[in-house]
């Protein structure tokens, strides 16, 4: 964007807030996922309220849950059905269907989020990314976990793709972060504890691969259950897993802070910016 000004962003939310959001999310998911749309609205408002811009302006979010609530039960129903079948082929099919449905719902939520996000009355966004492209990128993102390091490059690419398709007449978003920086954070916060758990569990490389592969199958066979028990529920493995889960919200916030810190908002000089944008409470 020519003849514009660059605005830096930072996120000031903390892990304690994330703990609360996580608990409420679990409750909304258990309740047939129907209340999840209202959770999404409150969570998006929190994200907007906790994002600071160095020019004094502010984001706000005004999404209506009634526009998306009916999408959330779909993946819930498929995953529930998967947990009730014992046929490996049918279980795998339902698992894949549930994953694809989840990606579809997240695309719908992304469109809804961009529609409800605004910087000022004149600076609004709309998402124009195609669903098949988005779902394809999410599938690759899921598979990239098996590359150990490739996920960081794909995460940054996906974020850049999302920003390119967040259209606005007055502004645009850009990602300037380097994948190697995200890789370092990810390995520090998620990879190292997981590696420690798997090392002390005594699992072979083949057994570890089978454990990860179970995420794409029915996962109901006795062998998978035995691997899970050996990896996470034996001896002091439990202490490591519990410690990891306690600090998980702070890890997630740190990762999100990195994404926000490495985002730039480019605003046209002619675009009005409200110094005190009304922010709705959660």
pLDDT, tens digit, 9 for 90 and up, residues 133-161: 999 999 999 888 878 789 999 999 999 99
Pairs from 86-94 (Cβ < 8 Å, separation ≥ 24): 86/218, 86/220, 87/218, 88/217, 88/218, 88/220, 88/221, 90/218, 91/217, 91/218, 91/219, 91/220, 92/216, 92/217, 92/218, 94/218
pLDDT digits (tens, 9 = 90+) for 62-83: 999 999 999 999 998 998 888 8
pLDDT at 270: 56
Measure the CA–CA gap between 247 and 169, rounded to whole angstroms. 40
Q: Where are the alpha helices (DSSP H) in the chain?
A: 15-30, 36-49, 73-83, 88-116, 131-143, 150-164, 179-186, 192-201, 205-213, 222-232, 237-261
Whole-number CA gyration radius for the chain? 21
* Share of residues in the chain with pLDDT > 90 (%): 46
> What is the average pLDDT across 85-104?
89
Q: For the chain, what are the domain ranges?
A: 4-268
For 166-175, 211-220, 243-252, which range has the lowest pLDDT when averaged over its residues? Answer: 211-220
- Res. 121 pLDDT band, cuts 50 70 90: low
More confident residue, 16 or 157: 157
The answer to whether 134 touches 118, Cβ cutoff 8 Å, is no
- Name which of 154, 168, 178, 161 is nearest 265 in CA terms: 168
pLDDT tens digits, one per residue of 256-271: 999 999 999 998 765 4
Averaged pLDDT, 31-35: 81
45, 13 Cβ separation under 8 angstroms:
no
User: In this model, does residue 96 exceed pLDDT 60?
Assistant: yes
pLDDT at 3 over 70: no
Could you report the per-residue pLDDT of 199-236, keeping only the tens digit for each? Answer: 777 777 777 677 666 655 545 566 777 777 777 776 66
Distance CA(184)–CA(227), nearest Å, equals 28
pLDDT exceeds 70 at position 59: yes
| pLDDT (0 to 100) of residue 125 | 92
193 or 221: whose pLDDT is higher? 193
Average pLDDT of span 100-112: 95
Q: Are 4 and 269 in contact (CB under 8 A)?
A: yes
Taking Cα atoms as reference points, which of 142, 173, 138 lies closest to residue 158? Answer: 138
Distance (Å, rounded) from C-alpha 109 to C-alpha 90? Answer: 28
pTM value?
0.82
Q: What is the pLDDT of residue 84?
A: 85
Give the rounded percent of residues in the chain with a pLDDT score beyond 70. 83
Q: What would the mean pLDDT of 158-175 be, rounded to a whole number?
A: 94
CA separation for the pair 189, 114 (Å, rounded) = 29
């Amino acid at each position: 964007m020519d003849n514009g000004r660059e605005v830096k962003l930072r996120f000031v939310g903390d892990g304690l807030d994330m703990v609360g959001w996580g608990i409420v999310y679990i409750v909304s998911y258990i309740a047939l996922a129907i209340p999840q749309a209202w959770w999404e609205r409150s969570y998006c408002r929190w994200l907007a309220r906790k994002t600071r811009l160095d020019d004094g302006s502010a984001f706000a979010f005004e999404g209506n849950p009634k526009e998306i609530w009916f999408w959330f039960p779909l993946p819930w129903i498929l995953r529930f059905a998967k947990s009730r079948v014992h046929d490996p082929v049918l279980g795998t099919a339902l698992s894949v269907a549930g994953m694809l449905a989840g990606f579809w719902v997240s695309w719908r939520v992304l469109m809804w989020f961009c529609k409800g996000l605004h910087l000022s009355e004149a600076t609004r966004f709309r998402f124009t990314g195609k669903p098949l492209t988005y779902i394809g990128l999410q599938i690759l993102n899921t598979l990239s976990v098996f590359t150990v390091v490739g996920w960081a490059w794909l995460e940054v690419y996906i974020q850049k793709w999302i920003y390119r398709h967040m259209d606005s007449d007055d502004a645009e978003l850009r990602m300037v972060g380097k994948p190697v920086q995200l890789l370092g954070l990810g390995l520090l916060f998620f990879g190292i504890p997981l590696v420690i758990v798997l090392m002390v569990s005594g699992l072979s490389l083949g057994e570890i691969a089978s454990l990860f592969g179970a995420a794409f199958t029915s996962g109901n066979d006795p062998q998978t259950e035995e691997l899970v028990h050996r990896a996470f529920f034996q001896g002091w493995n439990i202490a490591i897993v519990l410690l990891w889960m306690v600090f998980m919200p702070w890890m997630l916030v740190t990762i999100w802070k990195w994404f926000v810190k490495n985002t730039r908002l480019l605003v046209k000089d002619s675009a009005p910016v409200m110094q005190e944008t009304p922010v709705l409470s959660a």
